[in-house]
Amino acid sequence: MLQQLLEPSGFEVTVVYNGNDALQRYKEENFDIVMTDVVMDPMDGLTLLAEIKKYDPDAIVIMMSGFTTKETAIKALKIGAFDFQEKPFQFKELLLSVRAAVEERIKRTAAPEDDAAIERLERMKNKDLDKREREIEEREKALETSQQQIEEAEKMLQEREAFLEMSENTLFEKGQILQEQETQLEQLMEDFEKQKSDTDE
């Protein structure tokens, strides 16, 4: 789940499935940050946190748990946890915590003149900015499309109203013609009756 959440934001994620493997991989690869659950077997998260901090005092560890107690969180922070995230995650808060953790790791391990570390941090920020710009562009396009659809709908409505108005005018004109024809027919009938009366006389 963390991998699916973080990789789209530009982070490289390595997944292990128990505390022993996590400790061994950290010693081999020295990751920027570690994110671990509290409840694990055979090595629980607090023990893993303590072992990592013993190996690397500058290590950045974010603890996670769906069964958090205040005492557990305080204990983790006293051991040296950088942050404590409760499950289910609030993605924005989690992302902010991870970014802050990575920046803190770079500050702790890199000298100011370490161009590679600084460049790595800048790449991460720029990638995130590029993603945000793309999201903004997509939203603007969606809004533009919606505006076009609204304009088209308004145009269709205007055309329909014009058609209905024209139809009403046409019906009115036809009504007038029928009325005139009825009047003419009545006049013809009157003339016919008059002529018939004159003939009878």
List, for residues 173-188, the tens digit of each pLDDT value. Answer: 777 777 877 787 777 7
Q: Within a domain: residue 122?
A: no
pLDDT recorded at residue 23? 93
Tell whether 194 is covered by a domain. Answer: no
Number of domains in the chain: 1
Q: Which residue range is the domain that position 94 belongs to?
A: 2-109
**Within-domain flag for 58:** yes
Q: How confident is the model at residue 111 (pLDDT cuts 50, 70, 90)?
A: low
Asked if residue 134 is part of any domain, the answer here is no
Question: Residue 112: is its pLDDT beyond 60?
Answer: no
Q: List Cα–Cα distances, 111 to 61, 91, 108, 118, 121, in angstroms.
A: 21, 31, 8, 9, 13
Note whether residue 79 is domain-resident. yes
Q: Is 57 part of any domain?
A: yes
Q: Which residue has the higher pLDDT, 59 or 120?
A: 59
* Spatial distance between the Cα atoms of 148 and 166, rounded to a whole number of angstroms: 27
Write b or e for each residue in 90-107: b if 16 or more Cβ atoms lie within 10 A of its Cβ, otherwise e: eeeebbebbbebbebbbe
pTM of the model as a whole: 0.54
- The whole-angstrom distance between residue 80's C-alpha and the CA centroid of its chain comes to 34
The DSSP secondary structure of 154-190, one letter per residue, reads HHHHHHHHHHHHHHHHHHHHHHHHHHHHHHHHHHHHH
Across 13-31, average pLDDT: 90
Identify the CATH number of the domain in which residue 46 sits.
Answer: 3.40.50.2300
Query: Which band of pLDDT confidence, cut at 50, 70 and 90, is reported for residue 122?
Result: low
Q: Is residue 197 part of a domain?
A: no
Instruction: State the pLDDT at residue 194.
Output: 72
Q: Is residue 102 part of a domain?
A: yes
- At 63, the pLDDT band (50, 70, 90 cuts) reads very high
User: What is the pLDDT, as a whole number, of residue 133?
Assistant: 66
Spell out the residues 6+ positions from residue 61 whose beta carbon is closer than 8 angstroms to its own. Answer: 33, 34, 35, 36, 48, 49, 52, 53, 80, 81, 82
Where do runs of H (alpha helix) occur along the chain?
2-6, 19-29, 45-55, 70-79, 91-109, 115-200
